Amino acid sequence: MASHRKSRTPGTRVAGIRTPALATAALTSVALLSQTAEAAPGEDRPSLEEVEKKVGDLYRQAESATEKYNAAKEKTGKQRKRVDTLLDDVAKRTQKLNEARSELGSYAAAQYRTGAGMPDTATFLLAETPQDIFDQRQVLDRMTGRQKAAVDDYVTQQTETMKKRQEATESLRTLTETQGDLKTAKATVQKKLADARELLSKLTAEEKARLAAIEKRKQEEAARKAAELARQQAEQEQAREEAAQQGGGASEGSGSTGSTGSTETPPADSSYDTKAEKAIGFARAQIGKPYVWGATGPGSYDCSGLTQAAWKAAGVSLPRTTYDQVNAGTTVPVSQAQPGDLVFFYDDVTHVGIYIGNGMMIHAPKPGTYVREESIYYDGDSAIHSVVRPA
């Protein structure tokens, strides 16, 4: 779907995420804001289209940071569980080590009381590292069978306890780093949203009305494109039905045998239709609930939180973020999108909605809005990244 990708300001990619110079964008926003609010009559001022674009860019940057936040939050949760498990394991192994040490100590005490040769057993209690223990294993030849068994148990418990303590320490370090990523992503989201609100607050009532008119024209164009897609899909469906009635012949566009298979029409799948119907039913029931970044329901959602919850209602487990959801299924052309498919947007794959047919989707658009039905062309056809069938 490279032809549908929207060009972006150059920047580097990290783990599939474009990272533009955010500080520069913020400074540009402030400068644009000042020009819009303070320019004297007759001076050149940025057009409302430029203001609208800047606001849109800020919201998209906030959504990109939101997906980073979602990824860091999910990773933090998993790491915290791992740390808790490791610490619990260390506690149990320490208890076993203490029991083994106590038994070994009893042999050492007996040797000391009776004066029966050198206190071989006691030397293991003085060992502080696995290497110390290894160096002292030669004394095992002078021990009884029960002493050897006690030493073997002690060595095993000490070695495993040291290993688990090291793992727990490393996991705690990684958890601390991820919590730092989480904090950074959260601050970035809040900054971008604050910049957008500040920019909009400087507009006059007349400018806000004109901005609304620009948005209305965009929606009308998006609706026109959605209607055109619906017409094309209806024609394809009719062609398939006619071919089936004639008892053969592939439907239009299904004859390609290219290596990617991206132009082939996937076969009908009644089980998918059933699941998709459940997912769409869930998403439709969320219409009107607010967009809240990082939210997964039930009272509010962000974009990937909504699609994840919708498909979960259909019995399908999707990853948390758009970056992972885009790989959780089969990519199909926009012209062959079916209800239930996921529609992804922008080069950095930072937005997603659930397709409901006729060029329309249900999605959680951005901060300050609510879950709603909207054309998949709401930000232009070039904004569409890909369509993925998740089950």
Active site residues: 303, 351, 363
Q: Enter the DSSP assignment of 381.
A: G
Q: How far apart are CA 60 and CA 307, in angstroms?
A: 18
DSSP string, 207-227: HHHHHHHHHHHHHHHHHHHHH
Q: Which amino acid, residue 271?
A: S
Nearest 5°: CA angle at 368, between 363 and 369?
30
CA 278 to chain centre: 23
Give the pair of three-digit tokens for residue 130. 């696995």
Task: Give the tokens for residue 71.
Answer: 């990824």
List Cα–Cα distances, 327 to 68, 71, 134, 312, 349, in angstroms: 16, 15, 49, 17, 11
Please spell the DSSP secondary structure of 65-115, one letter per residue: HHHHHHHHHHHHHHHHHHHHHHHHHHHHHHHHHHHHHHHHHHHHHHHHHHT
Cβ–Cβ < 8 Å for 282, 293: no
Burial class (CB in 10 A: 0-12, 13-18, 19+), 138: exposed
Q: What is the rounded CA–CA span in Å between residue 141 and residue 160?
A: 24
